[in-house]
Amino acid sequence: MAKYNLELLKIFYEVAKEGNVTRASENLFISQPAVSQSIKKLEDELGGTLFNRSNKGITLTSEGMELFSYVKSAFEILDKGEDEFENYRGLKKGCVKIGISTTLAKLILVEPLKNFHEDFPGVKIELVNGLTSDILEELERGKLDIVIFGGECENKKLEVREIGYLQHVFVYNKNFFNLENVKTNEELIKFPLILQNKNSNSRKLFDDMIKKKGVNEQDLTCTEVVSQELAKILASSGFGIGFVLKETIEKDDDLSILTLEEKIPEFRVSVARSSIFAPTIATKTFLKYLEN
């Protein structure tokens, strides 16, 4: 017999479990003759008798009981596996691993995360913070399910979908700087600036802006920080003019927005997932919440 003929073993399991061909056929949704023929075929392939047949019904032979003990364990494990998969399919269990910066998490992730958790409390959410370059690398390696990031990404191994735009602004504390007459980038860069470090997409956006003006980066007076939150704190303390997302400015911040004649390009926000690793059921569902 070819090993692991699951169809015949399944029929044998049902007949042995029920001790009755009629009930087994009803459970399997096949005819009684088909059940009997399958048992006969299995016996022929095994070269032995599985059931004692009499006018009172059928009972397992000693060899049949031995086979049933193994088949029963196997199908119980398979049934448990199906139940477990159903839990994942029904989002009673699961996990979504999301890579995102702290700033974008505050601006974009809170509401969809809250709604998703209310609907599927059994699904675990793991948030990983870090620089865009680092978390996109983790995504490519299959360590994360999705990454939400700002800026551009040209990695062909990732599927990237745009979900919105944010706007950068220059902010300062009026108690330390009088910038009423500052209207251009050329005038602005004469003042001390607070920028995120070179690896951030926010900094890349700023660098592209000044390159178009022919400004030499070495002529800047610049303090580099790891986060937009720190840029805001230093700008509030009069340390310089910060380059941050407008959406992060709150009413109680001691900051003013500098209005320039030149428009700052919008900052695209996208969600990326691997084109190699298939998304989990939970991930596909969460993406719908995020895009809404």
* pLDDT the model gives residue 177: 92
**Two structure tokens written together for 88:** 């994942």
d(CA 194, CA 233): 10
What pTM, to 2 d.p., does this model score? Answer: 0.76
Q: Mean pLDDT in runs of 10 for the chain (292 residues)?
A: 75 92 92 93 91 87 94 91 90 94 89 95 94 90 94 86 93 92 87 90 88 77 90 93 91 85 91 92 94 81
* pLDDT the model gives residue 122: 95
Alpha-helix residue ranges (DSSP H) falling in 20-131:
21-28, 32-46, 62-89, 102-104, 110-119
Residue type, 273: R
Residue 140: count other Cβ atoms within 10 Å of its Cβ.
18
Phi and psi at 280, nearest 5°, equal -75, 165
* pLDDT the model gives residue 1: 45
- Domains of the chain from N-terminus onward: 6-87 (1.10.10.10), 95-163+269-291 (3.40.190.10), 166-265 (3.40.190.10)
Phi and psi at 203, nearest 5°, equal -70, -40
